[in-house]
Amino acid sequence: MNEFADYLARELPKIEECLREHVAELNPYVRPAADHVLAAGGKRLRPLLTILTARALGLGEDEDVYPLACSLELLHSATLLHDDILDDAALRRGKPAAHTVFGTTHTILAGDALLALANSMVARYGKPVLTECLSNAIMKTVSGEIQEIAHIRDVALSMDSYLEIITGKTACLIQSACQAGALMAGAPQALADAAGDFGMNLGIAFQLVDDALDYTSPKEVSGKPKGSDIREGKLTLPLISYIASLDGEHRKRFTQAFKDDTLSEDQLVSALAAVASGGYAEQTRDMAASYLDKAGQCLEAFPDSAEARLLRAALEGMARRDK
In the complex, the residues that contact Mg ion under the rule CB under 5 A are 83, 87
Beta strands per DSSP E along the chain: 91-92, 95-96
Q: List 95's β-bridge partners, or say none.
A: 92
Contact with ligand FPP (CB under 6 A): which of 22, 36, 151, 224? 224
CA distance 70 to 49: 11
Contact with ligand FPP (CB under 6 A): which of 19, 117, 121, 138? 138
Q: Is 111 in the site for ligand FPP (CB under 6 A)?
A: yes
Q: Is 285 in the site for ligand FPP (CB under 6 A)?
A: no
Whichever of 114 and 308 has its CB closer to ligand FPP, that residue is 114
Q: Is 240 in the site for ligand FPP (CB under 6 A)?
A: no
Q: Is 22 in the site for ligand FPP (CB under 6 A)?
A: no
Whichever of 89 and 133 has its CB closer to Mg ion, that residue is 89
34 CB contacts (<8 Å, ≥6 apart)? Answer: 23, 26, 77, 110, 113, 114
Whichever of 11 and 145 has its CB closer to ligand FPP, that residue is 145
Contact 72, 112 (CB under 8 A): no
Q: Is 87 in the site for ligand FPP (CB under 6 A)?
A: yes
Closest CA to 121 of 78, 157, 159: 78
Helix (H, G, I), strand (E, B) or coil at 156: coil
Task: Choose from ligand FPP, Mg ion, none: what does 224 bind? Cβ within 5-8 Å by kind.
Answer: ligand FPP
Q: What is the CA radius of gyration of the chain?
A: 20
Phi-psi region of 112 (alpha: psi -120 to 50; beta: other; left: phi over 0): alpha
Q: Is 310 in the site for ligand FPP (CB under 6 A)?
A: no
Q: What binding mask, one character per residue, do residues 163-192 give for ligand FPP by CB under 6 A, x or -?
A: ------xx----------------------
Q: Is 73 in the site for ligand FPP (CB under 6 A)?
A: no
C-alpha 190, offset from chain centre: 25
How big is the site for ligand FPP, counted in residues (CB under 6 A)? Answer: 17
Phi-psi region of 263 (alpha: psi -120 to 50; beta: other; left: phi over 0): beta
CB of 115 to ligand FPP, least distance (A): 5
CB of 108 to ligand FPP, least distance (A): 9
CB of 274 to ligand FPP, least distance (A): 21
Q: Is 145 in the site for ligand FPP (CB under 6 A)?
A: yes
241 CB contacts (<8 Å, ≥6 apart)? Answer: 278, 280, 283, 284
Contact 229, 162 (CB under 8 A): no
Contact with ligand FPP (CB under 6 A): which of 50, 71, 141, 284? 141
Closest CA to 224 of 37, 96, 119, 320: 96
Of 66-74, 78-86, 94-102, 184-192, the segment contacting ligand FPP by CB under 6 A is: 78-86
Where do contacts with ligand FPP occur on this chain (CB under 6 A)?
A: 78-79, 82-83, 86-87, 89, 111, 115, 138, 141-142, 145, 169-170, 224, 228
